[in-house]
Amino acid sequence: MTVYLFYLLSFIAILSALMVVFSRNPVYSVLYLIVTFFAIAGHYVLLNAQFLAAVHVIVYAGAIMVLFLYVIMMLNLNTYNEMQKANWLRFGAVVSGCLLMVVLVGSLKGAETMQPGAVHDANIGLVSNLGNVLFKEFLLPFEVSSLLFLAAMTGAVMLGKKSIRS
Amino acid sequence: MEWGDIIYKSILVVCVFSVSLLVAMYSTYAERKIAAFLQDRLGPNRAGPFGILQPVADGVKMFMKEEIIPDVSNKALFIIGPSVAMFTACMTGVVIPWGTELVIGGKHYPLQVTDVNIGILYLFGVVSIGVYGIMIGGWASNNKYSLLGAIRASSQMISYELAMGLSIVALIMMTGTLSVREIAAQQVGWHWNVLYQPFGCLLFMICAFAETNRAPFDLPECETELVGGYHTEYSSMKLGFYLFAEYINMFISSAVIATLYFGGYNMPFIGRWVHDPNWMAILGTVFFFCKIFFFIFLFMWVRWTLPRFRYDQLMNLGWKILIPLALLHVAATGVVMWLTGQIH
Amino acid sequence: MGAGSLIMLFICGVAFAGGGIALSWVLAKSSPNTAKGEAYECGIPSTGTSWIQFNVGYYLFALIFLVFDVELVFMYPWAVVVKEVGMVALVEILIFMFILFMGLVYAWKKGALKWM
């Protein structure tokens, strides 16, 4: 049962991820991306990490994608008469894509030697375990992350205000 | 899982689903009757005795009406919008514990479809997805009113989601669990959370009103400014879906308020008179539904009593009043728990 | 875990939403004409499309919401374990919330929370 679900979810995830790239209309791309995120959240549930799945849905599908959709709907990026990209831009895109490919292959090559399923504790994904680890062992990174949020907020406000004025 | 369990779960899923639909259907009738009562009118009284068949007639009408899909719209998304709204509204009922459990032939049958250990986050996740139905539909219509309605709706829903989440954080601090069933079970007798967290309950209820787009927060479909808001272009069953989704959301919100803050299926003093667990479970469920109907009534009472906010007032209330208050509430809860020795 | 129940509910939801649309498509009459197909603008012939560019200020709210939402997600595991971990966690979250609040105050003072 779990294996079939895994293959079904993977199929949906990959198919919709491909559709994100191939859709002409950016609104469709965003919607396919949401489907991809749901399929990935399903994978988390299969791995017994329900908290992560819920957070994934809340943050990625519920917040980030809302922002994307918002921007795309309001900036009217759905026009078909988009201008031709410059050649150096295409070249840069190809280079960065290849670099990402190298990174992915490199990390996946390392994954082979790793022991799969080294953690067999089924309760590892439970929220109380996560909380205990986060608030006992990783105190400082947690506090630093709040500064990161402050910086993100400041940046967002600065950018937004700047473009309003101009 | 055995076959018996699978059959039981299927029955329960279908029951929860159809009860949500039935309650939503008759909420439309109740709304019209209550509006009539508050405005000293009669309300629907032609279809059947006291107009009791009115929702059925409305439903049939919705199916039979001509569907108009504007030529300028994005047709695929125009159909997907209301479907998503309806679908997300239906997905919430599973984690709510409708009662304790029935014991039949030595086997335990909990009256809850699934007890996810992160039940509250599941609810929160579905709420955060709910905004897509409105956004997609409003944008796909290619109508200026619809688009403005959709923008308003999405801004409003994301703003109030934050205060809602923060008010739940304060509740979880006390209960120490994210499972809805455990939270309901902890409130046995008179230990209702509203007595310990009256302010959190108020915050949560205000946000629930805003999340369901009910008056006084019904600006997305503000007819004095935006004709019909995000569903201006919709007709026939697709319009029906949007309206229906709102009523299902109202029903589920009432159930969530009753579960989290008002004791859920717990009935004080029941142990004195009834000892059979099955009867206790059934009476608990009946009592739970009484609470839910009270909150649905409250939703309607507020709608026909309070005037609508202006949009900037709405955003000010959300960002400049509710969020700081909710943050303060979390901090205050922590300090009080420390003072009373619950946090060492 | 009730994954089975969730799948069942998923099927129920899709069946109901799809069935409703399909049924009304079968039952409802259709007599389209050009006037019906236009976007509704109170009876006046509509001017242009509504897919135009909006003021950037509208999505500032979405940006600030995103930051707050991620912060909120951190607070759930905290709230679950605060009784176990005790005083340290409380102090920690108070600092966290203070910084969070500063962000809100900054956005407020800069006028980002003003709806236009």
Pairwise CB contact (< 8 Å): A132 & C102: no
- Closest among B78, B336, B340 to B199, alpha carbons compared: B336
Mean pLDDT, range C20-25, rounded to an integer: 81
* Helices C87-109 and A127-136, packing angle to 10 deg: 80
A45 interaction partners in chain C (CB closer than 8 Å): 1, 3
Residue from B207, B203, B296 nearest B250 by CA = B296
Peptide bond before residue B55 is cis, with ω within 30 degrees of 0: no
Least confident segment among A61-65, A128-132, B101-105: B101-105
How many domains are contained in chain B? 1
Contact B120, A56 (CB under 8 A): no
Give the CATH number, domain containing residue C89.
1.20.58.1610
- Note the pLDDT of residue B1: 54
- Across chain B, mean pLDDT equals 83
Phi and psi angles of residue B128, each rounded to the nearest 5 degrees, phi first: -70, -20
Residue in B221, A163, A51 with CA at minimum distance from that of residue C75: A51
pLDDT the model gives residue A125: 65
Identify the pLDDT of residue A36: 92
Quick check: is C2 in a domain? Answer: no
Dihedral pair phi/psi, residue A41, rounded to 5°:
-60, -35
- Stronger pLDDT, B80 or C54, i.e. the higher one: B80
B partners (3+ CB pairs within 8 A) are A, C
Nearest to C30 among B17, B67, B87 (CB): B67
Facing B118 at nearest CB: one of A51, A62, A74:
A51
Residue B86 in contact with partner chain C when CB distance is under 8 A: yes
Distance CA B297, CA B293 (A): 6
pLDDT band at B80 (very low <50, low <70, confident <90, very high): confident
Per-residue model confidence as pLDDT tens digits over C55-68:
666 677 888 888 88
**pLDDT tens digits, one per residue of B38-52:** 888 888 888 878 888
Task: Report if residue B80 sits inside a domain.
Answer: yes
Tally of structural domains, chain C: 1
Domain range for residue B204?
A: 66-339
Burial of B320 (0-12, 13-18, 19+ CB in 10 A): middle
* Residue B111 burial (CB count, 10 A): 21
Q: Which amino acid is at A118?
A: A
What average pLDDT score do residues B228-245 get?
82
Q: Residue B92 — pLDDT band, cuts 50, 70, 90?
A: confident
In 10 A of CB B91, how many CB atoms?
Answer: 22
Report yes or no on C114 lying in a domain.
Answer: yes
Please write down the HEC assignment for all residues of chain A: CHHHHHHHHHHHHHHHHHHHHHCCCHHHHHHHHHHHHHHHHHHHHHCCCHHHHHHHHHHHHHHHHHHHHHHHHHHCCCCCCCCCCCHHHHHHHHHHHHHHHHHHHHHHHHHHHCCCCCCCCCCCCCHHHHHHHHHHCCHHHHHHHHHHHHHHHHHHHHHHHHHHHC
How far from the centroid of its chain's Cα atoms is residue C19's Cα? Answer: 26
Query: What is the DSSP secondary-structure string of B37-79?
Result: HHTT---S-SSSGGGTTHHHHHHHHHHHSPP---TTS-HHHHH
Q: Is the dihedral of CA C13, C18, C20, C21 positive or negative?
A: positive
| A61 with B128: Cβ contact below 8 A | yes
Give mean pLDDT, residues A63-92: 73
Beta-carbon separation of C100 and A67 below 8 A: no
Query: In chain C, count of helices (H) and strands (E)?
Result: 4, 0
Query: What's this model's pTM, rounded to 2 decimal places?
Result: 0.86
**A:B CB pairs within 8 Å:** 55
User: What digits encode the pLDDT tens for the residues B162-177?
Assistant: 888 889 888 888 888 8
Q: Which residues in chain B (26-55) have CB-CB distances under 8 A to chain C? A: none
pLDDT at C1: 46
- Is residue B135, in this structure, part of any structural domain at all? yes
Distance from CA of A144 to the nearest CA of C (A): 9
Give yes or no for residue A99 having a pLDDT over 90: yes
Number of other CB atoms surrounding residue B276 within 10 Å: 10
Whether B264 contacts B175, CB under 8 Å: no
Give the residue from chain A lying closest to B115, CA to CA. Answer: A50
For residue B175, being part of any structural domain is answered with yes
pLDDT at B240 over 60: yes
CB atoms within 10 A of CB C23: 12
Task: Inform me whether the C-beta atom of residue C61 falls under 8 Å from chain B C-beta atoms.
Answer: yes
| Of B20-24, B336-340, C38-42, C90-94, the least confident | C38-42
More confident residue, B278 or B253: B253
To test the contact with chain B by mutation, choose from A38, A50, A67, A157 the residue with the greatest count of B C-beta atoms within 10 A, namely A50
- Minimal Cβ distance to C85: which of A50, A135, A149: A135
Res C53: pLDDT: 66
The residue written with tokens 């191939």 in the block is A22
For chain B, the first-to-last Cα distance in angstroms comes to: 42
Q: Which residues 26-65 on chain A approach chain B with CB closer than 8 angstroms? A: 27, 31, 34, 50-51, 54-55, 57-58, 61-63
Does the beta-carbon distance from C115 to B312 stay under 8 Å?
Answer: yes
CA distance A45 to A50: 5
Q: Under CATH, to which class is A1-78 assigned?
A: mainly alpha
CA atoms within 13 A on the CB side of B85: 34
Q: How confident is the model at residue A14 (pLDDT cuts 50, 70, 90)?
A: very high
pLDDT at res. C55: 64
Per the CB < 8 A criterion, the answer to whether A81 and C83 are in contact is no
Nearest chain C residue (CA) to B239:
C21
- Chains near C with 3+ CB pairs less than 8 A apart are A, B
Residue C9 located in a structural domain: no
Tally of CA atoms within 13 A in the half-sphere of B142 that contains its CB: 20
Q: Are A74 and C58 within 8 A, CB to CB?
A: yes
Q: Which range is most confident: B110-114, B334-338, C12-16, C56-60?
A: B334-338
The verdict on a CB contact (< 8 Å) between B178 and A69 is: no
Taking contacts as CB-CB distances below 8 angstroms, the residues of chain A near B139 are 27, 73
Q: For residue C50, what is the DSSP state? A: S
- Rounded CA-CA distance B119/B297 in Å is 26
Q: Please answer yes or no on whether A51 and C60 come within 8 Å at the CB atom.
A: no
What residues contact C71, with CB distance under 8 A and at least 6 apart?
A: A146, A149, C96, C100
Backbone angles phi, psi at B101, to 5 degrees: -155, 150
Structure confidence at residue B158 (pLDDT) = 84
Could you tell me which residue, A158 or B290, shows the higher pLDDT?
B290
In B180-276, which ranges are continuous DSSP H helix? 180-186, 193-196, 198-211, 223-226, 236-261, 270-273
- Cβ–Cβ contact B70 with C under 8 A: yes
Do B117 and A126 count as a contact with CB atoms less than 8 A apart? yes
Higher-confidence residue of B214 and A19: namely A19
For residue A57, which residues of chain C lie inside 8 Å, CB to CB?
Answer: none
Question: In the structure encoding, which two tokens stand for residue B115, read together?
Answer: 């007890």
CA distance C107 to chain A (A): 6
> By the 8 A CB rule, do B81 and B134 touch?
yes
Any A CB within 8 A of B135 CB: yes
What is the extent of the structural domain holding C72? 55-116
Whole-number average pLDDT of chain C: 77
List b or e across C69-106, with b for residues whose CB sees 16 or more CB atoms inside 10 angstroms.
bbbbbbbbbbbbbbbebeeebbebbeebbebbbebbee
Res A81: pLDDT: 53
Residue A100, pLDDT score: 93
Q: In angstroms, rounded to a whole number, what is the distance separating the alpha carbons of residues B58 and C35?
A: 26
The verdict on a CB contact (< 8 Å) between C112 and A55 is: no
User: Does the beta-carbon distance from B128 to A63 stay under 8 Å?
Assistant: yes
**Smallest CA–CA separation between A29 and chain C, in Å?**
17
Domain ranges (residues) in chain A: 1-78, 127-166
Q: Would you call A123 exposed, middle or buried from its count of C-beta atoms within 10 A (0-12, 13-18, 19+)?
A: exposed
Residue C24 lies in a domain: no
Strand partners, B110: B101
Which chain C residue is nearest to residue B334, measuring alpha carbons? C90
Q: Is residue B47 part of a domain?
A: no
Residues of C in contact with A134 (CB under 8 A): 74, 77-78
Confirm or reject contact between B77 and chain A (CB < 8 A): yes
Q: pLDDT, tens digit, for every residue of B122-165? A: 888 888 888 888 888 888 888 778 888 888 888 888 888 888 88
Q: Is B161 near chain C, with CB under 8 Å?
A: yes
- Chain B residue numbers with beta carbons less than 8 Å from the beta carbon of C50 are 141-144, 146-147
d(CA B162, CA C68): 7
On whether any CB of chain A is under 8 Å from the CB of C1, the answer is yes
Within 8 A by CB and 6+ apart from A134, the residues are A142, C74, C77, C78
